[in-house]
Amino acid sequence: MFAQVIIDQDVKAIDKIFEYNIPSNMSILVGMRVYVPFGKRVLQGYVISISEDCSYDKNKVKDIISPIDQFPAIKKQMLEVMQFMVKKNHLTMASTLRLFLPSQMREGKVKEIFETFYYLRQHDFVPKSNAIKQKLLIDFLKKEGKVSSSKLGEMFGYQTIKTLYDKKVLEKEKEKIERIPYFIPKQDKKVVLNYMQNEAIKKISSEGVYLLHGVTGSGKTEVYMHLIERELAKGKNAIMLVPEISLTPQMVSNFKARFGDFVALLHSGLSAGEKFDEWKRIFSGQAKIVIGARSAIFAPIENLGIIIIDEEHEQSYISESNPRYFTHDIAKFRAKQNNCPLVLGSATPSIESYKKAIDGDYNLVELPVRANGKELPAIQIVDMIGELRRGNSGIFSAQLIADLNEVVTQKKQAMMFINRRGFSSFMRCRDCGYIAKCSDCDVSLVYHKEDNRLKCHYCGKQYKVLTRCPNCKSENIKHGAVGTEQVVSKLKELFPDIKILRMDNDTTSTKNSHQKILNEFKNSLPGVLVGTQMIAKGHDFENVTLVGIIDADQSLFQADYRSTERTFQLITQVAGRAGRSKDEGKVILQTYAPRHYVYKFASNYDYKGFFKKESNIRQTAQFPPYTRIIRALFADCDENNARELLKICYTNIENLKDEFSNEILYLDAMKSPIKKIQNKFRFQILMRLKLEKADEIEKKVFDIVNNATKTNVFIEINPTNMS
């Protein structure tokens, strides 16, 4: 028998199938990892198929040296996922397969851990009457059978164990143990679903993609749990994806409480050992529900009854570094493989997903009201230019200060949200609110400090820095944004006696720091939590009655065609933190562009109105989802090399215009907005395509680039970061 093997090296030139002989005394299965001779070296590989015959010269074909594991680490369905991704995302087979295994496994680093367990050897031993601990220990073991050393030691003392062991009353043995990250006892608390939730569950029954559009607090989590329960009862498994586990601790504890050890967690916060153990529990079928960030879509689990992507609009579902992929694509493929539903849940679906629901590609399921019947909090728009005119040039509007005072006297809580994304910023007239935009692209220009210029991150066009507003002639033009620290120190001046906490990248770098800050906030009445995007999601604090959005425009005027959509999503999400319990909530939204359509729709929670307006604009301006953007980024330490490579590729891509003159809406080559990163010079080719033949053109672009070069080119589809 012969094995078709992929070598575990992320090198394009050897990313193909090699054949090896399976020695007759060796048992090899499809999906196993193996050691094989390769040239003069011994390398790791994956067996992707087995055949009786060999297309290579039988006298020259080499033997597999040995299997690495005793089981096929890559399951059959995952081999299919690999084929799908290689084609869809133009990836190498090896780099794709690597996504499916804990990295420690490939490096052979993870050691299984063992613990000592004790059990009774003599059942009729009677300890002396004053040896109470010994008696208790024996009674305990009679009831429990076998108990770990650490548990017995904690309960009865290690000396007691030793004494009984020395007397040969106890026997011990070593057993492998699994490290289960946080253990939470199982509870049987069940919520009675309301009418809308029940309807949603009924609708989500057969194969297909379902967009679950539910307002914040509508009880989507309960719907997810019921759907999963239903599939478990049929003997099936589930995958549930969340944007980032550390930001959704409540979701995780709810699931652990409901499903106990059936839940496995996969995310970056786990130690290498924990990750490997969870992977094994999933692999072996002990765990039936996988919860994790985007890479959990690669969990080694088959017989899926449902896949859920919560907060489906989140950017974290796009893998932006190699290997690049979009989680939704893979989830769809896996759902099809298993003939099961895929649920995309959100209060603010992405424009792309909602368009698919409107077009009939997805089934739309709606939860339009909060589960507890409460109204969504009122959002008040505050015009910060008006504040300036009234002589208030501070961070907080008069209204926000008044509302904060109210929170303090009522001993309630407030959350202050500061929008910080990237390091770039835009230029704005402090008097009329004018924002500098690219005349060709209609996106805001980004200020680049090093050469003191404004740049368009889409077409590369550069502009002189403004010193005078073209709109109102004012010279009061500024760039830069407020930071969390500034807000905290201002709040401390205003309210010296109350607890003010900060949550951002700086304060959450250590393990469990999120949880610590959140716990401290929970117990602070009155209290204020100041934070970035991190405080926007999922938190359910019953005493929060006020949410302040300090500078809503920060995400609005980013150089990104999705910036308006993001702003709408952020406002809705942040606002959803207020008034979740008995007390009514309120949101203050501070902006320098109060008449922008996004604020009108967001303050009325009018998602559909926003979708209509925004998708019209995208269609007119020829942006996704109505077109496809491709960016090829060339980076090299040698500027001339990068430029040469760019030229070759550009010439070839330009030739595509002969065949696809109608489909290529835009094509240009230029320096990247950030010219040099880590000493590498950066150039880019940008193109925008009509959708009709986009797949075909995309494939050709990849081929051109891959033929011209082996390294240092990144191709991105609809990139979110254009720097």
Q: Which residues bind ligand ADP (CB under 6 A)?
A: 191-194, 197, 214, 216-222, 371-372, 540
353: partner contacted, choices Zn ion, ligand ADP, none (Cβ within 5-8 A by kind): none
Nearer to ligand ADP, 37 or 368 (CB): 368
219: partner contacted, choices ligand ADP, Zn ion, none (Cβ within 5-8 A by kind): ligand ADP
Token look-up 């996988």 returns 290
Considering the rule CB under 5 A, would residue 471 count as an interface residue with Zn ion?
yes
Which token pair is 643? 């430029």
Size of the site for Zn ion (CB under 5 A): 15
Q: Number of helices (H) and strands (E) in the chain: give both, helices first.
A: 21, 32
Strand, coil or helix: 470: coil
Nearer to ligand ADP, 195 or 423 (CB): 195
Integer angstrom CA distances of residue 107 from 8, 12, 44, 241, 484? 11, 21, 10, 26, 41
For residues 611 and 564, give the distance between their C-alpha atoms in angstroms, rounded to a whole number. 11
191: partner contacted, choices Zn ion, ligand ADP, none (Cβ within 5-8 A by kind): ligand ADP
Of 172-180, 434-442, 514-522, 585-593, the window that binds Zn ion (rule: CB under 5 A) is 434-442
Contact 431, 476 (CB under 8 A): yes
Closest by CA to 430, choosing from 484, 399, 384, 483, is: 384
210: partner contacted, choices Zn ion, ligand ADP, none (Cβ within 5-8 A by kind): none
Of 117-125, 138-146, 435-443, 655-663, the window that binds Zn ion (rule: CB under 5 A) is 435-443
User: Considering only residues 51, 103, 474, 707, which one is a binding residue for Zn ion as defined by CB under 5 A?
Assistant: 474
429: partner contacted, choices Zn ion, ligand ADP, none (Cβ within 5-8 A by kind): Zn ion
Stretch (H or E) spanning 367: strand 363-367
Residue 667 CB, shortest distance to Zn ion, in Å, is: 14
Residue 163 CB, shortest distance to ligand ADP, in Å, is: 50
220: partner contacted, choices Zn ion, ligand ADP, none (Cβ within 5-8 A by kind): ligand ADP
Nearer to ligand ADP, 219 or 673 (CB): 219
Contact 435, 567 (CB under 8 A): no
403: partner contacted, choices ligand ADP, Zn ion, none (Cβ within 5-8 A by kind): none
Considering the rule CB under 5 A, would residue 469 count as an interface residue with Zn ion?
yes
218: partner contacted, choices ligand ADP, Zn ion, none (Cβ within 5-8 A by kind): ligand ADP
Nearer to ligand ADP, 214 or 585 (CB): 214
User: Considering only residues 438, 491, 578, 715, which one is a binding residue for Zn ion as defined by CB under 5 A?
Assistant: 438
Considering the rule CB under 5 A, would residue 440 count as an interface residue with Zn ion?
yes
Nearer to ligand ADP, 371 or 481 (CB): 371
Integer angstrom CA distances of residue 3 from 20, 28, 71, 84, 694? 5, 8, 15, 21, 37
115: partner contacted, choices ligand ADP, Zn ion, none (Cβ within 5-8 A by kind): none
Nearer to ligand ADP, 217 or 531 (CB): 217
Residue 439 CB, shortest distance to ligand ADP, in Å, is: 41
Residue 649 CB, shortest distance to Zn ion, in Å, is: 21
Question: Which residues, in sequence order, are bridge partners of residue 466?
Answer: none
Contact 618, 561 (CB under 8 A): yes
Nearer to ligand ADP, 73 or 200 (CB): 200
474: partner contacted, choices Zn ion, ligand ADP, none (Cβ within 5-8 A by kind): Zn ion
438: partner contacted, choices ligand ADP, Zn ion, none (Cβ within 5-8 A by kind): Zn ion
Contact 487, 550 (CB under 8 A): yes
Strand, coil or helix: 128: coil
Nearer to ligand ADP, 221 or 558 (CB): 221
For residues 119 and 128, give the distance between their C-alpha atoms in angstroms, rounded to a whole number. 20
Strand, coil or helix: 354: helix
Contact 427, 435 (CB under 8 A): yes
CA atoms lying within 13 Å on the CB side of residue 284: 9
43 Cβ partners below 8 Å, 6+ apart?
7, 8, 9, 35, 36
Residue 290 CB, shortest distance to ligand ADP, in Å, is: 19
Contact 667, 686 (CB under 8 A): yes
What 8-state DSSP symbol labels residue 287? -
Nearer to ligand ADP, 204 or 469 (CB): 204
Residue 477 CB, shortest distance to Zn ion, in Å, is: 7
Residue 576 CB, shortest distance to ligand ADP, in Å, is: 6
222: partner contacted, choices Zn ion, ligand ADP, none (Cβ within 5-8 A by kind): ligand ADP
Burial 325-341 (b: 16+ CB within 10 A, else e): bbbbebbbbbbebbebb
Nearer to Zn ion, 3 or 436 (CB): 436
Residue 217 CB, shortest distance to ligand ADP, in Å, is: 4
Closest by CA to 31, choosing from 6, 55, 13, is: 6
Considering the rule CB under 5 A, would residue 434 count as an interface residue with Zn ion?
yes
For residues 373 and 364, give the distance between their C-alpha atoms in angstroms, rounded to a whole number. 22
Contact 178, 280 (CB under 8 A): yes
Q: Per residue, what are the HEC states of 168-220? A: CCEEEEEEECCCCCCCCCCCCCCCCCCHHHHHHHHHCCCCEEEEEEECCCCCH
Query: Which residues sit at the interface with Zn ion, rule CB under 5 A?
Result: 429, 431-432, 434, 438, 440-441, 456, 458-459, 461, 469, 471-472, 474
